[in-house]
Amino acid sequence: MQKDCIKKMQRSTSDRISHLPGNVIEKILMSMPMHDAVRTSVLSRKWRYAWVTLPQLVFDDAFYRKLRRTPKDKFMMTIYQVMLLHRGPIMKFKLSVPILEGCPEIDQLILFVSNNGIQELILHIRQGKPYKLPSSFFSCLQLERLELNYCFFNPPLGFQGFTMLLSLELWDVFLTSVVFKRLISSCPLLERLKVLNRWRTFNCFEIDAPNLKSLFCAGQFISVYVKNAPKLARVSISLYEWMPWERYEGGEICNWVTFSASLPAIEFLELDYGCLKFISAGGIPYRLPTDLSHLKNLKLHIESVDVFSSILCLLRSSPNLEKFAIGIPIYADEDEETVAKLSEVQGCSDISLNQLREVELEEAWGRRFGLEFIKLLLAKSPVLEKMVIVADNLIGRERLKFLQKVTQFRRCSPLAEVYSEVPDDDQGY
C-alpha cells in the first residue's frame, strides 16, 4: 500500500512540468536560446510541439556559436527546419550572421516572415558583402521595430513606408540622403531613431518625424537638420570619431538658431567635439535666440578648448539645467587666451545655473583650464549638491595638491560637495 502511494507521488512529481499552463510554458521557451527551446520537445508529449507556436524566432549570436563549426549550408538548413515546423504568426524575428558571402537563402527567410505578420525584425550582418534587402522585405507593413546592420536599403518605387513603425535602428546601412529622408517622413508614428554610419559620408541627415522622442546619430554627416520633431526629448550626436580634420574648415553641421528652435521639448542633449566644432564653424551667438527651457541633462565630449564659446552659449541658454557632464582634456590649458576669457566670465552675471544640482567632470587634469572651469561652476550654481571629478590620472602628491586647490574655491551652494573618483577610492572633500 505504502509502495503504491510512493510510486503515485513520484509519477505526479516527475510529470509536474507537463501540467504547467500554456502561457507559462510559452514564457519559459521565449526566455531560452532558440537551440535549447527546440530541444525541450523531448521533455514530454505536451512539450513536444510547444515551441512551434512561439511568436518569436531568435537566431542570434548564441545560436550561431552553438553551430559555428557547421558548414554554411547545414547552418542555414537548421534554420529552415525550424521555420518549416513553425505554426502561427511570427511577431519577432532576429537573425545574426557574422559572415555573409552571397546568401540568397536569407531572402527566403525574409519572404517567410513577411507573410506571417512580422512586427519586430532584427537583421545583423557583420562581415563580407552588405546584404541587399529583397522586395519581400518592403511588404512587412506591420513592422513596429526594425533594426538593420550592414545592408543595402533601396526600396521599390511604389514603397509607401512603414506606417506602423515605432523604433528604427540603422547600423552601417547603405542608402542615399534622399531615400533616408523619404523613409523617415513615411513613418509617421516613429518614436525612436538610431543611426550609425562609419563607412561613407552622409550628405544630409534630415529629420521630419512629428512623434520622434529619441534620436541618436553617429558617423560622417555633412549636415544634420531637425525639421519637425516637437516631441523630441533625447538627442545624442557624435561626429568626431570618423570625421577627417579638413572637413572642419568652413563646415557647418547646422545653424544654431534652427537647431535650438527645432527642439522645443529637448530634455537630454549629448554632443561630441566634432559636433561642437562644426557648429562653431558656422558662427557662435552669445546666447541662443530660443532658450532650451526643458533641457535638464547636458553631456559634452571635448578634445580641445577651441569650442569653449559653444559650451558657454549652451550653458547660458539652458536655464533649467539640472545635470551637466563634460570631459576636460589633458592639454586643455594650452590655450592661454581661452583660460583668460574663462577667468573673466566668473565675474559676469550672464551665466546663472540656478537649477544645476549635479556636475561630472571626466578626465579632469589639475591644470589651469580645468581648475578655472571648476571654479566657474561652483560659483554659478546656488543649489549644487554634488560635483564628481574623475581624476584617475592624478596620484599621490599631485592629486592632493589638485584637491587642495579645489576645496579652496568659493561655493555658491552651501550643500555642494566635491568628490574625486579614482580606482579603489571615492572620497568626499
Question: What confidence tier does 420 reach under pLDDT thresholds 50, 70, 90?
Answer: confident
**Stretch 22-32: mean pLDDT:** 59
Residues 336-372 have pLDDT tens digits of 666 666 766 666 667 889 999 999 988 665 467 778 8
pLDDT at 399: 72
Question: What confidence tier does 273 reach under pLDDT thresholds 50, 70, 90?
Answer: confident
Given a cut of 50, is residue 207 above it in pLDDT? yes
Long-range contacts (CB closer than 8 Å, 24 or more residues apart) made by 129-136: 129/100, 129/101, 129/102, 130/172, 130/174, 131/100, 131/103, 131/106, 134/107, 134/110, 136/107, 136/110, 136/111
**Comparing 310 with 122, which gets the higher pLDDT?**
122
pLDDT at 183: 93
Question: What confidence tier does 67 reach under pLDDT thresholds 50, 70, 90?
Answer: low
Question: What confidence tier does 41 reach under pLDDT thresholds 50, 70, 90?
Answer: low
Domain boundaries, the chain: 55-190, 192-297, 322-429
Question: What confidence tier does 6 reach under pLDDT thresholds 50, 70, 90?
Answer: very low
CB neighbour class for 252 (10 Å; exposed up to 12, middle 13-18, buried from 19): middle
**Stretch 111-119: mean pLDDT:** 89
pLDDT at 350: 74
Helix 72-85 × helix 105-114 angle, to 10°: 20
Given a cut of 60, is residue 241 above it in pLDDT? no
Question: What confidence tier does 296 reach under pLDDT thresholds 50, 70, 90?
Answer: very high
Contacts of 246 (CB under 8 A, 6+ apart): none
The answer to whether the CB of 259 falls within 8 A of the CB of 298 is no
Which of 354, 337, 335 lies closest to 413 in space, CA to CA? 354
**Comparing 5 with 346, which gets the higher pLDDT?**
346
The answer to whether the CB of 54 falls within 8 A of the CB of 32 is no
Spatial separation of the C-alpha atoms in residues 155 and 137, rounded to whole Å: 9
The answer to whether the CB of 316 falls within 8 A of the CB of 287 is yes
Spatial separation of the C-alpha atoms in residues 376 and 409, rounded to whole Å: 9
Mean pLDDT over the full length of the chain: 77
Residues 144-165 have pLDDT tens digits of 999 999 999 999 988 989 999 9
Share of the chain above pLDDT 90, in %: 28
pLDDT at 304: 76
Given a cut of 90, is residue 232 above it in pLDDT? yes
Judged by average pLDDT, the poorest of 5-14, 228-237, 250-259, 306-315 is: 5-14
